[in-house]
């Protein structure tokens, strides 16, 4: 009887081992690919061009204020008039037919009265109150169509308060000034109104010249 040669069957490798080897290979390939990419220099992004500043229009040129055709802007350039008794008297004697005569005259009068109302020997509760009234009455002086009469009356009342504080000899003059202010219409459109405003400003200048001197 013939002998039968029996050989053991070799065990095949586990499929999980093959899967693990494949994953390790893929990981190694991915690592080297990522490292190769990271080793490459990153191209520099060109900086955005900086716009050249516009040339200074005043360089090498005259820098004086440019003329304007806007009357409102032109008046703003001289918004703060002088404030001395002499300047007030000079303005009062100027041409009263100028359309802005009444408003500008009130502004000069205000500028003249403010330092007097703040003077140590004249300042008291009544004078301070009348000064505040003048400021309130002229708060809208620059608005078109604003009546000037409240400002004239407030200015006359402030002069009256200053007179009562230290100038008893000017009592009649101050009373007449208040009456003149109350009689004004607040306009300078007619010759009569222009004369009335001019007379009020002239009398105010005369009184202010006296009260600008130290009280005796």
What tens digit of pLDDT does each residue of 56-88 get?
443 333 333 334 344 433 343 334 455 799 999
Predicted pLDDT at 58 = 38
Predicted pLDDT at 59 = 38
Flag residues of the chain having pLDDT under 70: 1-14, 32-82, 216
Residues 128 and 38: their CA atoms lie apart, in Å, by 81
Q: How many CB atoms lie within 10 A of CB 194?
A: 18
- Hey, is 150 helix, strand or coil? helix
Predicted pLDDT at 18 = 74
Q: Would you tell me the crossing angle of helices 101-117 and 191-211 to the nearest 10 degrees?
A: 20
Predicted pLDDT at 121 = 92
Residues 154 and 160: their CA atoms lie apart, in Å, by 10
Predicted pLDDT at 55 = 45
Predicted pLDDT at 19 = 75
């Amino acid at each position: 009887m013939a002998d039968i040669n029996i050989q053991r069957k070799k065990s095949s490798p586990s499929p999980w081992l093959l899967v693990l080897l494949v994953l390790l290979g893929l990981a190694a390939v991915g690592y080297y690919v990522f490292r190769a990419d990271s080793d490459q220099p990153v191209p520099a992004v060109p900086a955005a061009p900086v716009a050249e500043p516009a040339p200074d229009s005043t360089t090498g040129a005259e820098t004086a204020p440019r003329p304007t055709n806007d009357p409102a802007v032109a008046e703003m350039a001289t918004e703060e008039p002088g404030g001395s008794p002499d300047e007030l008297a000079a303005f009062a004697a100027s041409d009263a037919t100028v359309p802005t005569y009444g408003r500008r005259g009130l502004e000069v009068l205000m500028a003249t009265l403010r330092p007097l109302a703040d003077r140590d020997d004249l300042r008291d509760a009544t004078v301070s109150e009348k000064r505040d009234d003048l400021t309130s009455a002229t708060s809208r002086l620059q608005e078109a169509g604003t009546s000037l009469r409240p400002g004239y009356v407030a200015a006359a009342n402030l002069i009256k308060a200053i007179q009562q504080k230290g100038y008893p000899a000017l009592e009649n003059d101050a009373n007449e000034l208040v009456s003149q202010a109350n009689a004004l219409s607040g306009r300078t459109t007619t010759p009569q109104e222009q004369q009335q405003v001019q007379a009020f400003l002239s009398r105010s200048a005369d009184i202010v010249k006296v009260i600008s001197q130290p009280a005796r």
